[in-house]
């Protein structure tokens, strides 16, 4: 499945009236899948509420980037603020949804997306606060890493960003909900069988009704 | 109350071993001109507090690459492989904090408080158990206020009293650092007469500002970076 | 994202026993219209958090005089003899905090933190020894974050997204209370379309605001008070 | 001595380039003794830096008062801010001078100006932070209360606003400096003898040189 398919599915998670933070990487790309008049405000932790799509060179303002460093436009109703206010919005629980990438995510909703000991430790950035304090955290990632290893795990092995924080996982292969019982399969990529998905998934998958295709 | 100063004289107040807060999230808000003067004057053994390390070859990265910096207190340096390499080789000490906690630690000092209690990352590997106390029956992490000898900031406009306005995402940590540092040195793209900024629109009141210098925006560091805009 | 609401419906969300932050330092910033509606609806056993008690006969004083308020958390009520008398007679419980500590306790909740450490009044009679801890070898007072179910605020301008601008000294506690309360209800003298407030000049971003209502400035409480201006 | 004399003397304590808070009561009246172009910024804890003199009815803006509730004008270079920033200015030590009233002030520089147990307890307001955190605190008060009791004392008897916070005391009868040795008499009201001043003062007064008249 091309990432477009994954992104288009994930964009449906963003509901009218919501305030949403999009993490660096795949989540930021969701911006391109929102309708220009969508009734949502995108938060960027560097001090913007109301991010618009990436700006062209002609439109770009060198003082206006998102947290990933891309020049952006703003939407009607945008506001700028300092970093303390930006994270007050996060920690006070005023975001409705955070969409985040993952190195690993597990059946308890634990998330690891900031550090690979000995290989990658550029700092935590805003991820810990976003993961811990947003009421609904959506993980968006490829189902398997480049070596084929499942990112969806019984238990994370990497240092955690936050414990039991993830509500839903959307990969190129499945849509999974984190429940008290474990990971429940809601949707499966078109053309993939449940057996094949289980082979590609380290975590146990629960099925309470026939998964829809996406 | 004229706070306009020559850039070289303002930066000359900084001595070896100083702790310096530097505004900016990525490039926006980074005081490239003040940092270039600090590089020219060559102060050493500096501790730098900045959200990130800029990118290789610009901003605080130049000071780090030149060996002027002993310690970096930051949130995320993922966009700067050179600084990551210096950290990994042990040439640069790096303290990481969650981004909003870093902001709040700086603001806490700016508000004249000693520390705050937080539950961010309480059970994670970033928390030293020695910083955890029990408060009202549950554990809490004590986050110490973070102060500095100097803050170097970039503002969009400044008046002679030191009132500052920032623009767009160039604001980020700057208002907090202005509160927190003992001596606050600002470069402003626009110096305007006192009275020309609406009092309701001042982002940082002049009480927090010690010196205002000119910013020379012709430095390409203030311009657009390639590859960051849409095709 | 239309946050405009009818005043009566917005205030009807408040139940008996609620804790309510009220903006304003003296009259400026006091949401007289929202308070009048709260008086009309008659909710009781309220806890009010406000810098002061307004003056007798206006603002929160009317709620207190009407017996709707059980507890007042404040900084100074010296301009209101009626409320002082109700405090002295035991009809109203009053908790006092130093003014800036009250502000900071509210902001602390707004920043999603639990408490902060301070040395203000550490050795004075306002400090309960039970709130003092030793930290880094010296005593510090733990100031708990102060949250609320509702905040009632007055803004100069609000757009449909809930972005707020305040004017002059009507700002005071309002941006902090907007951050701290679970449900933030604003009355705005001017309701403007989204996009008409410069994003750099927003004082409170709409993320913190739940409902925006009309303010009717014809109420004399919004006008000048006699005897407070120069002859 | 008329209060004008006291205020005129006290106004000389405010130096060019300073940021100054004037407490409610006598201190606020100093505003009228500052030159219209004086190079000072007056802070009011309700969120103004750059207070001007009291406004007339024609000039007054109902949204613009000082901490005492008087309508004011602003000076060139003024700024408005919220209460947290206002007290950050105070607690971070960014004021140069606070001028405060007193019920009692003592030879150690202790100040009592907020509470008379059983008689007057309207709350602390901003006084504690101003007294504790301003580098230089100037007390401005009448030397004796209406019953003739000395406000300048060996030790305060009322609940303290802050300990050892006062640098200088200016009354209608004397200018006193708080030093490690005690209260040093610097100036004395014209026509008053040192003996008479000592009779009116509960605290011991040190004299290291002939006091000037004011």
Q: What does A14-45 look like in DSSP terms, one character per residue?
A: --TT-EEEE-TTHHHHGGGGS-TT-S-EEEET
Q: Where are the domains of chain D?
A: 4-213
In contact, B213 and B5? CB cutoff 8 Å: yes
* CB-based contact B3:B160 (threshold 8 Å): yes
B154 near A CB under 8 A = no
Identify all chain B residues contacting A87, using CB atoms and an 8 Å cutoff: 99-101, 103-104
B41 is written with which tokens?
A: 């004057």
H helices of chain D, in order, are 3-11, 26-29, 83-91, 127-133, 194-199
Closest C-alpha to A137, from A28, A22, A30: A22
Evaluate if residue A1 carries a pLDDT over 80: no
The overall average pLDDT reported for chain C is 97
Contact call for residues D128 and C120 (beta carbons, < 8 A): yes
Instruction: Tell if the CB–CB gap between B163 and D79 is shorter than 8 Å.
Output: yes
pLDDT at C118 over 80: yes
Q: Do A122 and B98 touch (CB under 8 A)?
A: no
- Structure tokens that stand for B69 in this block: 């910096």
Please report the ipTM that was assigned to this predicted complex: 0.98
In the CATH scheme, what is the code of domain D4-213?
A: 3.40.1080.10
C182-217 per-position pLDDT tens digit? 999 999 999 999 999 999 999 999 999 999 999 999
Question: Residue A98 — φ and ψ, nearest 5°?
Answer: -120, 130
**Mean pLDDT in residue range A23-39:** 92
Q: State whether residue C140 is helix, strand or coil.
A: strand
Domains and CATH numbers, chain B: 16-116+147-191+205-215 (3.40.1080.10)
D48 in contact with C, Cβ within 8 Å:
yes
The DSSP code sequence of D83-146 is: HHHHHHHHHTT--SEEEE--SEEETT--EE-S-BTTTB----TTHHHHHHH-SSEEEE--SB-T
Task: Answer yes or no: are the C-beta atoms of A86 and A50 closer than 8 Å.
Answer: no
Query: D74 CB near a chain B CB, below 8 Å?
Result: yes
For residues A6-26, average pLDDT: 95
Neighbours of chain A (3+ CB pairs under 8 A): B, C
Mutate to test the interface with D, among C21, C22, C25, C77 (most CBs of D within 10 A): C25
A46 touches chain B (CB under 8 A): yes
- Full pLDDT tens readout for chain D, 214 residues: 457 889 999 999 999 999 999 999 899 999 999 998 899 999 999 999 999 999 999 999 999 999 999 999 999 999 999 999 999 999 999 999 999 999 999 999 999 999 999 999 999 999 999 999 999 999 999 999 999 999 999 999 999 999 999 999 999 999 999 999 999 999 999 999 999 999 999 999 999 999 999 9
């Amino acid at each position: 499945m091309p990432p477009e398919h994954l992104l288009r599915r994930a964009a449906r998670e963003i509901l009218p009236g919501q305030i949403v933070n999009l993490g660096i990487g795949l989540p930021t790309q969701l911006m391109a899948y929102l309708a220009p008049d969508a009734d949502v405000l995108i938060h960027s932790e560097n001090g913007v509420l109301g991010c618009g799509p990436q700006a062209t060179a002609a439109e770009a303002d060198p003082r206006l980037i998102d947290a990933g460093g891309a020049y952006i436009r703003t939407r009607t109703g945008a506001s700028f603020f300092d970093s303390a206010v930006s994270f007050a919005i996060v920690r006070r629980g005023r975001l409705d949804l955070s969409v985040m990438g993952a190195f690993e995510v597990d059946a308890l909703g634990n998330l690891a997306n900031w550090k690979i000991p000995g290989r990658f430790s550029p700092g935590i950035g805003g991820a810990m606060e976003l993961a811990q304090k947003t009421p609904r955290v959506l993980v968006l990632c490829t189902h398997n890493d480049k070596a084929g290893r499942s990112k969806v795990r019984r238990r994370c092995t990497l240092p955690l960003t936050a414990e039991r924080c993830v509500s839903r996982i959307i990969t190129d292969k499945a849509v999974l909900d984190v429940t008290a019982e474990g990971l429940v399969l809601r949707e499966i990529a078109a053309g993939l069988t449940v057996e094949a998905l289980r082979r590609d998934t380290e975590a146990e998958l629960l099925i309470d009704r026939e998964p829809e295709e996406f | 109350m004229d706070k306009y100063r020559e850039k070289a004289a303002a930066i000359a107040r900084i001595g070896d071993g100083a702790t310096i807060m530097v505004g900016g999230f990525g490039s926006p808000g980074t005081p490239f001109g003040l940092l270039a003067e600090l590089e020219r004057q060559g102060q050493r053994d500096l501790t730098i507090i900045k959200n990130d390390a800029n990118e290789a070859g610009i901003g605080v990265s130049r000071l780090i690459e030149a060996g002027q910096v002993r310690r970096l207190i930051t949130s995320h340096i993922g966009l700067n492989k050179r600084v990551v390499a210096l950290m990994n080789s042990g040439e640069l000490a790096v303290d990481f904090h969650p981004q909003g906690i870093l902001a709040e630690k700086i603001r806490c000092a700016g508000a004249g408080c000693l520390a705050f209690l937080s539950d961010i990352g309480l059970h994670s590997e970033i928390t030293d158990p020695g910083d955890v106390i029990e408060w009202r029956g549950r554990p809490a992490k004590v986050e110490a206020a973070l102060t500095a000898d100097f803050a170097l900031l970039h503002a969009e406009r400044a008046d002679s009293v030191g009132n500052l306005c920032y623009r767009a995402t160039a604001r980020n940590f700057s208002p907090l650092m202005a509160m927190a540092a003992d001596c606050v040195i600002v470069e402003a793209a626009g110096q305007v007469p006192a009275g020309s900024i609406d009092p309701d629109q001042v982002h940082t009141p002049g009480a927090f500002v010690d010196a205002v210098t000119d910013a020379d925006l012709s430095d390409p560091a203030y311009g657009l970076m390639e590859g960051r805009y849409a095709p």
